[in-house]
């Protein structure tokens, strides 16, 4: 086994990426890109340990995909993410790769490893073949190099170099600034970095997402409370009572959240917004749904439809159905025709029948965001 830890950086925000999903979550058949890339790199060399650096909001979800890797929460910058991950590195060498470089060939990895003792940091680079102008002046292009990842560093040298508040855009720049030695090897055009989205066309080996559909159910129930505003589906109903709850008690929205999380395999509402957390006391449930919808799109899904059943002896739902549909459609970012609402009484049986509260059941369907057709 090699005395090398591999870190795959996957904690970015994809803010420049012109797709609905974050790049690390694009589906390659049924696999998120981060898993596809990490598994591929794992077959290229016998790494002692593989660390996947995850966005703090996604680490628990990422954990659902594999038991083979160590997941570490990243920071606000690439460098912070590296620092967090280095805390878990005990090997002499560390190889750091951007998930954004999805097409790295094995030859680059092997050459980095062959050169591991030749400098503090081994870096793949590309020469520039076009004429280069800097501040309107032509400069000698032979002096220009395009720096790629993965880079292989001496762990001690990298840890020392990052004891600084200066932000470097790559590992070699930090090591160089700390008087470490650098060896450049030949990079690869296959290691192109996904930044804006159009680069996807340059990596033909990435398979299209599967056409699978994913279904999740949600259920929530709340007791009435007198003299409180009632919110249902994000709208205020004209009645003199509301729902007893830690949040605003919007039982319909809570049920929708669970259906969406169920379809994405992402747990339940309590894992995202614990009812013991003071910050959610009295919170507008629309804010919670917005956060979940952003999560669903970020991690590579599109919402197909949602079907809801409201079980209520009171209040009467029919007069408000259209308004609730419009509200939910807007919050989910889908057309109104894809939100269905059914309402039923409990035939005066049980606690709902005794008009003590309301229950809502939902079914959501998701599909993968199809990045290949856009
Ligand atoms: N806080 C951060 C920022 C970036 N990265 C990772 O660093 C690599 C290079 O970053 P970049 O391509 O810029 O990705 P993003 O930061 O996601 O993109 P953007 O700058 O457009 O938001 C990516 O693999 C990204 O996931 C990270 O782990 N933690
Ligand atoms: C590390 C890197 O990929 C080397 O070219 C690059 O600096 C990352 O830059 P970004 O701004 O985080 O995309």
CA of 8 to the centre of ligand 1 (A): 11
CA of 341 to the centre of ligand 2 (A): 47
Is residue 98 lining ligand 2, measured as CB closer than 6 Å? yes
Structural domains counted in the chain: 2
Binning pLDDT at 50, 70 and 90, where does residue 204 land? confident
Give the integer Cα–Cα distance in Å for 144 and 139.
Answer: 9
Q: Is the distance from the beta carbon of residue 57 to the nearest atom of ligand 1 less than 6 Å?
A: no
Q: Which domain holds residue 80?
A: 4-201
pLDDT of residue 250: 97
- d(Cα 108, Cα 149) in Å, to the nearest integer? 9
Cα(104)–Cα(93) distance, integer angstroms: 19
* Residue nearest atom 13 of ligand 2, based on CA coordinates: 195
Q: What is the CATH number of the domain that holds 96?
A: 3.90.550.10
**Ligand 2 mean position to 126 CA, how many Å?**
14
Tell me whether residue 374 is in a domain: no
User: Is the CB of 171 inside a 6 Å radius of any atom of ligand 2?
Assistant: no
| Whether residue 228 sits in one domain with residue 121 | no
CATH number at residue 283: 3.30.1330.50
Residue nearest to atom 11 of ligand 2 (CA): 169
- Which of these three, 201, 222, 237, is where a domain ends? 201
Name the residue with the closest Cα to ligand 1, atom 21: 16
Q: What is the full DSSP assignment across 10-61?
A: E----TT--SSS-GGG-EEBTEEHHHHHHHHHHHHS--SEEEEEE-TTTHHH
* pLDDT tens per residue, range 269-307: 999 998 888 898 889 999 999 999 999 999 999 999 999
pLDDT(112) > 90: yes
Hey, is 336 helix, strand or coil?
helix
What pTM did the predictor assign? 0.94
Same domain assignment for residues 271 and 128: no
Pairing relationship of beta strands 121-127 and 151-154 according to DSSP bridges = antiparallel
């Amino acid at each position: 086994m090699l005395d090398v830890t591999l870190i795959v950086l996957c904690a970015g925000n994809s803010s420049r990426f012109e797709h609905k999903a974050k790049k690390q979550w694009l589906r390659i058949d049924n696999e998120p890109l981060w898993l596809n890339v990490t598994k591929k790199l794992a077959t290229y060399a016998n790494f002692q340990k593989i660390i996947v650096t995850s966005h703090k909001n996604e680490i628990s979800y990422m954990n659902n995909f594999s038991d083979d890797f160590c997941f570490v929460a990243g920071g606000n910058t690439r460098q912070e993410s590296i620092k967090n991950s280095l805390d878990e590195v005990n090997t002499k060498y560390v190889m750091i790769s951007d998930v954004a470089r999805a097409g790295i060939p094995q030859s680059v990895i092997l050459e980095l490893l062959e050169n591991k003792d030749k400098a503090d940091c081994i870096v793949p680079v590309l020469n520039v073949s076009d004429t280069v102008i800097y501040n309107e002046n032509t400069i000698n292009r032979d002096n220009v190099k395009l720096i790629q990842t993965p880079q292989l560093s001496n762990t001690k040298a990298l840890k020392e170099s990052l004891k600084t508040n200066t932000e470097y855009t790559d590992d070699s720049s930090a090591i160089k600034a700390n008087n470490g030695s650098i060896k450049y090897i030949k990079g690869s055009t296959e290691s192109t970095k996904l930044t804006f989205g159009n680069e996807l066309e340059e990596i033909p080996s990435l398979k299209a997402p599967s056409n699978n559909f994913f279904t999740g159910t949600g259920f929530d129930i709340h007791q009435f409370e007198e003299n409180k505003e009632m919110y249902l589906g994000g709208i205020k109903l004209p009645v003199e009572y509301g729902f007893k709850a830690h949040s605003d008690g919007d039982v319909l929205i809570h049920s929708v959240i669970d259906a969406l999380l169920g379809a994405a395999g992402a747990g339940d509402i309590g894992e995202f917004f614990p009812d013991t957390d003071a910050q959610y006391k009295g919170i507008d449930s629309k804010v919670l749904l917005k956060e979940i919808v952003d999560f669903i799109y970020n991690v590579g899904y599109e919402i197909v439809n949602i079907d809801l059943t409201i079980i209520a002896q009171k209040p009467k739902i029919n007069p408000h159905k259209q308004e609730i549909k419009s509200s939910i459609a807007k919050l989910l970012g889908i057309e109104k025709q894809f939100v269905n609402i059914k309402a039923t009484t409990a035939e005066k049986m049980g606690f709902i029948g005794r008009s003590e509260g309301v229950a809502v059941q939902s079914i959501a369907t998701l599909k993968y965001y199809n990045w290949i057709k856009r």
